[in-house]
Structure formats: C-alpha cells, structure tokens
Amino acid sequence: MLAVAVPLADDYPRFHTDLTDILSPEMILKTLLSLLIFTSVSMPIALAEHSPSASSIDTLLASMSNEEKAAQLILVYFSSTEFVASHGFGGVLVMQNMIKDLDQLSSRLQRLQQQSKIGVLVTIDQEGGKVNRLKYLPGWKHLPSAKTMSHWPTGKIEAHNRRVARILKRAGIHLNLAPVLDPSHNQSGEQTLIGFEQRAFGKTGDRIVANTSAVIRGFHSQGILTIAKHFPGYNVAAHSDHEIAISHATKQDITRNAETFGRVAPQVDGVMISSIQYQKLDSRPAVLSPRVVAWARQIYPDKLIITDDLWGVALRSWINPKAAEHHNYPDRDFLQLVRMTLDAGNDLLMITYPQKALVMKQAIAKWMQTDPELREKVNHSVRRI
C-alpha cells in the first residue's frame, strides 16, 4: 500500500491518504520506469553545476527564523525590489508590464539578488500565444501558441524554446511556469478551456509528452527550470473566474491525464496543482486537497509543488462566496485558504497581491510557533525551494 501521512486544517479530521485509491498499478509502474529512464536529464546542466550542497542547505536552514522560513514559501508578484528583499520572500513572479526593457529588468533583478539575504527564485509564466509575457519586447510581440507548436517537428519546438530561454536567462529569470500538460479535449470529446485558448500541446498523452519534452529540453539547455501544469490535468470545457470549475471525470479518466504528468515528471523541476474540484477525488479544489497533493508528491517526491494564484477570485469564493469580489476580502477567510493550502502539502504559494504576502508570512510564522508538524513540513518545503 502507498500511504502518506497528510495533516489537514483543524476543520478536518487527520487521516492517512491511501494513494492506491487514485494511483493505478500501471500508473505506479510507468512513473518508476520514467524515473529510471530520464533521471539523467532531470535538472538543467547549468543549474546542477551550481546547486548548493545538502550540508550548506542544512546549515542555512538551522540559522533561519520562523519568519524567514515562512517568507521562503511565498512566490509574490514582483512589485518592488526593496519590498521583496526586505521581507525575504522566496520567489517573485515577473509579468509583461515589467519586460519592456530587458537590460532594465536585468538590472532590477541583479539589485534584488544583491539586497537579499537568500537568493530569490525569479519566475515567469511564458507559454507563447495568448500567454506571452515578452510581447512588449521588440520582435517578440507575436509568438506561437502551444497549439501551433504542436504541429511542428519536435526539433523545431526545442529550437524555438531555446531561443525564448536565452531571453529569460539574459533577464535573470530562473524558472518558467510552463509547459502546460493539460489535454486539448476531455474524456467526453469536448474541447477543454485550455484547448480553446490554444494552450494545449495535444489531445493524447503521447503527443503531449513528445511536444512538452521538446519544450523542456529547450529551456533546460539554457539553464531555465520548468514546471508542469496543471496537475492532474485541466479537463473541463467551461470556466468562470468567479467560482471553482468542477470536473465530473471518472477516476480512470483523471488517472489517464495524470499519467502524462508522470511520464514527464523526471524531466521537469516541479509541478503546479490545478484549482479545479475533481468530484470523484475530493470535495475540495485540487490545490486544497491533501489527497491530490499527496498524489502529486508521490510522482514528484523531491521537486517543487506550486500553487496557482491564491488571490484568484474563484479560490477565494470557495471559502467565502459573498466577499470574494470585494477588495477588502477578510484576512480571516484568506488565511483559512492559506492554511488549507499548506496543510494539503504545497511547497511554494503564489500570490499576486503583494500586501497579502505580508499577511501570509506573519500568519505562517505564528502557526509554526505552536505546530511542530507544520514546522517540519515548512522545513522540508524550504529545503526544496
């Protein structure tokens, strides 16, 4: 039996998640075989050469306060160099409005690293097509979507993404929150939202794996880390920014999508969890589900597990639908969301509202004072980060 101890928020009973309820024997076997085959390419060479030793990480971890550790768990919108450095946040998210002058961005990021006690993980979600964060740079306004690239030979896909990776590297960006591993069509033959937005690399697992592996190779060739998303697969056609999307897929269909993530797992550096509610798995959105996150951890044992934006209206509406669209969303409700995200087992928590990052940091540090189980969980997450 594959069993993982999963601490839940105080509102829920504590239990062990039996992953054999979700993971088929075939899925387990495929994941283990993939790990054996692809371990040699699991980290970009440029980053592997400069990775800190385990002993240096342990020494640093032992010297950190609860507040410093809590801050490391937060991936915040890059608003101000001084703000991020002074509060010690673990990562920043760079958006298109910050990339109008590559040299200027590079200088800002260099200052950020110089002013920070611990190096800051600089991220971006550069997919191409509709999600093009480079569009304000001369010559980069129109980039091919995943759908367009899915019709290319894999060598061309790799070469294109190597070119994109060079730009990110020049700017000082470390990690791309891509590629998308979600299918273009779901188990009912309907086009998914990801497919409609032309963000999918294919309809079948084989096509998605072949195409996204080429994307990953392109980024890794320049030392840029990659994140697979959105586990265990965005498989719904409809979507609303105001409420959680619900998937009615069977466990078998969800597992089939998740197998794609398992096959690519050894090549990427982490995974982003979906915010969909999968009715056959849990009554909670995936990112808040200890069961789903434990499943992801089984496939990605030593890699980062990242949330999507916790300030998204849909997630906040799941906690408090009456206040979700108000700017003054109650901190009490927001912190319930944060606590559930942590207890589910996520490592890095994304927030695009910088001031709420401070609220998160203070609350997590306070919880750590009285919860040894959470302290241990945070230590493991900070070590991975």
Dump pLDDT digits (tens) for 262-298: 999 999 999 999 999 999 999 999 999 999 999 999 9
Count of residues in the chain: 385
pLDDT digits (tens, 9 = 90+) for 50-88: 567 788 888 898 999 999 999 999 999 999 999 999 999
**Number of Cβ within a 10 Å radius of residue 302:** 10
pLDDT of 8 strictly over 80:
no
Question: CATH number, domain at 207?
Answer: 3.20.20.300
- Quickly count: other Cβ atoms within 10 Å of residue 158's Cβ: 21
- Mean pLDDT check: name the lowest of 44-58, 227-241, 301-315: 44-58
Q: Is residue 253 part of a domain?
A: yes
Is 213 buried (19+), middle (13-18) or exposed (0-12) by CB count in 10 A? Answer: buried
Assigned domain for 59 exists: no
Q: Can you state the angle between helices 25-38 and 251-264, rounded to 10 degrees?
A: 10
Closest to 340 in 3D by CA, of 370, 321, 363: 363
- pTM of the shown model: 0.88
CA dihedral over 39, 294, 209, 198, signed as positive or negative: negative
Say if 290 falls within a structural domain: yes
Give the residue numbers spanning the domain of 268: 3-51+71-384
Residue 66 in domain: no
Task: Summarize pLDDT for 91-150 with one digit per residue, the tens.
Answer: 999 999 999 999 999 999 999 999 999 999 999 999 999 999 999 999 999 999 999 999
Total of domains in the chain: 1
Q: Give me the sign of the Cα torsion angle 266, 267, 271, 274.
A: negative
Residue 318 maps to a domain: yes
350 strand-pairing partners: 75, 309
Given a cut of 80, is residue 315 above it in pLDDT?
yes
Give a yes or no: residue 64 inside a domain: no
Instruction: Write out pLDDT tens, residues 231-242.
Output: 999 999 977 677
The crossing angle, in degrees rounded to 10, of helices 331-344 and 372-384 is: 70
Hunting for tokens 């951890």 — which residue is that?
297
Of 34-48, 55-69, 242-256, the one with minimum mean pLDDT is 34-48
Query: Which helix (H) or strand (E) covers residue 124, if one does?
Result: strand 121-124
* Residue 273, in any domain of the structure: yes
- The verdict on residue 60 lying in a domain is no
Q: What angle do CA 233, 234, 239 make, to 5 degrees?
A: 165
Cβ contacts of 227 within 8 Å, gap of 6 or more: 175, 176, 177, 178, 268, 269, 270, 271, 272, 304, 306
Q: Give the other-Cβ count within 10 Å of 157's Cβ.
A: 26
Task: Print burial letters for 83-96: b (CB count within 10 Å at least 16), e (below 16).
Answer: bbbebbbbbbbbee
Q: What is the pLDDT of residue 15?
A: 32
